[in-house]
A and B are shown apart, each in its own frame.
Chain A
Amino acid sequence: MSQAPQPILLSSHLLGIEGLSVGEITALLDLAEEYVALGRAKEKKSPLLKGRTVINLFFEPSTRTQSSFELAGKRLGADVMNMSVRTSSVTKGETLIDTATTLNAMRPDILIVRHQNSGATSMLARKVDCCVVNAGDGAHEHPTQALLDALTIRRRGRKFQGLTVAICGDVLHSRVARSNIHLLGKMGARVRLIGPRTLMPADVKRFGVETFTDMREGLKGVDIVMMLRLQLERMSGAFVPSTREYFRYWGLDREKLACANPGALVMHPGPMNRGVEIDSTVADDLEVSVIHEQVEMGVAIRMAVLDALSRGLPAGERNV
Chain B
Amino acid sequence: MSKRTLFRNARLIDPACGLDAKGGLVVENGRIADAGPHISNADAEVIDCQGLVLAPGLVDMRVFTGEPGSEHRENLKSASRAAVAGGVTTIIVMPNTDPVIDEPSLVDFIRRRAEATAKVRVLPMAALTRHLAGEVMTEIGLLKEAGAVAFTDGDRTISNTRVLRRALSYAAGFDALVVAHAEDPDLTDGSAVNEGEYAMRLGLPAAPAAAEVMIVERDIRLVELTGARYHFAQISTVASLEAIAKAKARGLPITCGVSAHHLALNELDVGTYFTFMKVKPPLRAEADRAAMVEGVASGVIDVIVSSHDPQAADTKRQPFAQAAFGAAGLETLLPVALGLYHEGKADLLHVLKALTCSPAKILGLETGTLAKGAPADLALIDPDAPFVVDPDKLHSRARNTPFKGRRFQGQAIRTFIGGECVYDRGVSA
Query: Interface-forming stretch among B92-100, B169-177, B246-254, B382-390?
Result: B169-177
Contact present for A245 and B173 (CB under 8 Å): no
Q: Which of B130, B141, B174 has the most chain A CB atoms closer than 10 A to its own CB?
A: B141
Contact present for B141 and A248 (CB under 8 Å): yes
Tell me, yes or no, whether A240 is within 8 Å of chain B by CB.
yes
What residues of A have a CB within 8 angstroms of the CB of B136 in the complex? Answer: 236-238, 241
Give chain B's interface secondary structure class: helix
Nearest B residue to A245 by beta-carbon distance? B139
What residues of A have a CB within 8 angstroms of the CB of B169 in the complex? Answer: 197-198
Contact with B along A52-82 (1 / 0, CB 8 A): 0000000000000000000000000000000
Contact present for A197 and B137 (CB under 8 Å): no
Which 4 A-B residue pairs are closest in the complex by CB-CB distance?
A: A237-B136, A213-B173, A245-B139, A197-B173
What residues of B have a CB within 8 angstroms of the CB of A239 in the complex? Answer: 166, 170
Tell me, yes or no, whether B140 is within 8 Å of chain A by CB.
yes
Contact with A along B107-150 (1 / 0, CB 8 A): 00000000000000000000000100001111111100000000
Bound CA span A239–B138, Å:
11
Give chain A's interface secondary structure class: loop
Distance (Å) between the CB of A246 and the closest chain B CB? 9
Contact present for A196 and B137 (CB under 8 Å): no
Bound CA span A108–B130, Å:
52
Contact present for B137 and A237 (CB under 8 Å): yes
Bound CA span A237–B138, Å:
8
Contact with B along A236-256 (1 / 0, CB 8 A): 111111101100110000000
Contact present for A197 and B139 (CB under 8 Å): no
Bound CA span A198–B135, Å:
15
Taking a contact as CB atoms closer than 8 A, the residue among A197, A244, A248 that contacts B170 in the complex is: A197
Bound CA span A245–B226, Å:
20
Contact present for B173 and A244 (CB under 8 Å): no
Taking a contact as CB atoms closer than 8 A, the residue among A196, A197, A245 that contacts B142 in the complex is: A245
Distance (Å) between the CB of A205 and the closest chain B CB? 13
Nearest A residue to B175 by beta-carbon distance? A213
Q: A196-B173, A197-B172, A237-B136 are in contact. List 14 more A-B contacts (CB 8 A).
A: A197-B169, A198-B166, A213-B173, A237-B130, A238-B136, A239-B166, A241-B130, A241-B136, A241-B140, A245-B139, A245-B141, A245-B142, A248-B141, A249-B141
Distance (Å) between the CB of B295 and the closest chain A CB? 31
Nearest A residue to B173 by beta-carbon distance? A213
Bound CA span A239–B226, Å:
14
Distance (Å) between the CB of B269 and the closest chain A CB? 42
What residues of B have a CB within 8 angstroms of the CB of A245 in the complex? Answer: 139-142
Interface size class of chain A, counting residues whose CB lies under 8 Å from the partner chain: 10 to 19
Distance (Å) between the CB of A139 and the closest chain B CB? 17
Q: Are A238 and B141 also in contact (CB < 8 A) when A196-B173, A213-B173 are?
A: no
Distance (Å) between the CB of B248 and the closest chain A CB? 23
What residues of A have a CB within 8 angstroms of the CB of B139 in the complex? Answer: 241-242, 244-245
Distance (Å) between the CB of A59 and the closest chain B CB? 27
Contact with B along A213-248 (1 / 0, CB 8 A): 100000000000000000000001111111011001
Distance (Å) between the CB of A264 and the closest chain B CB? 23
Nearest A residue to B228 by beta-carbon distance? A197
Would you list 19 pairs from A and B whose C-beta atoms are within 8 A, ordered by A residue?
Answer: A196-B170, A196-B173, A197-B169, A197-B226, A198-B166, A198-B170, A198-B173, A213-B174, A238-B136, A238-B166, A239-B170, A241-B130, A241-B136, A241-B138, A241-B140, A242-B139, A245-B139, A245-B141, A249-B141
What residues of B have a CB within 8 angstroms of the CB of A237 in the complex? Answer: 130, 135-137
Bound CA span A22–B169, Å:
36
Q: Are A244 and B142 also in contact (CB < 8 A) when A197-B226, A213-B173 are?
A: yes
What residues of A have a CB within 8 angstroms of the CB of B141 in the complex? Answer: 245, 248-249
Bound CA span A238–B172, Å:
16
What residues of B have a CB within 8 angstroms of the CB of A197 in the complex? Answer: 169-170, 172-173, 226
Bound CA span A244–B143, Å:
12
What residues of A have a CB within 8 angstroms of the CB of B135 in the complex? Answer: 237
Bound CA span A248–B130, Å:
19
Nearest A residue to B225 by beta-carbon distance? A202
What residues of B have a CB within 8 angstroms of the CB of A236 in the complex? Answer: 136
Bound CA span A238–B137, Å:
7
Distance (Å) between the CB of A230 and the closest chain B CB? 14
Distance (Å) between the CB of A212 and the closest chain B CB? 9
* Residues of B33-83 whose CB lies within 8 A of A: none
Nearest B residue to A202 by beta-carbon distance? B225
What residues of A have a CB within 8 angstroms of the CB of B138 in the complex? Answer: 241
Contact present for B172 and A241 (CB under 8 Å): no
What residues of B have a CB within 8 angstroms of the CB of A238 in the complex? Answer: 136, 166
Distance (Å) between the CB of B47 and the closest chain A CB? 46
Bound CA span A213–B227, Å:
13
Bound CA span A65–B315, Å:
63
Distance (Å) between the CB of B63 and the closest chain A CB? 25
Bound CA span A265–B257, Å:
50
Distance (Å) between the CB of B67 and the closest chain A CB? 25
Bound CA span A88–B135, Å:
37
Bound CA span A237–B139, Å:
9
Distance (Å) between the CB of A202 and the closest chain B CB? 8
Bound CA span A239–B162, Å:
10
Distance (Å) between the CB of A35 and the closest chain B CB? 42
Bound CA span A245–B174, Å:
12
Bound CA span A244–B141, Å:
10
Q: Which of A198, A239, A244 has the most chain B CB atoms closer than 10 A to its own CB?
A: A198
Distance (Å) between the CB of B327 and the closest chain A CB? 33
Bound CA span A238–B163, Å:
7
Q: Are A240 and B130 also in contact (CB < 8 A) when A197-B226, A248-B141, A249-B141 are?
A: no
Bound CA span A133–B137, Å:
39
Nearest A residue to B165 by beta-carbon distance? A198
Distance (Å) between the CB of A253 and the closest chain B CB? 15
Contact with A along B216-231 (1 / 0, CB 8 A): 0000000000100000
What residues of A have a CB within 8 angstroms of the CB of B137 in the complex? Answer: 237, 241
Distance (Å) between the CB of A211 and the closest chain B CB? 10
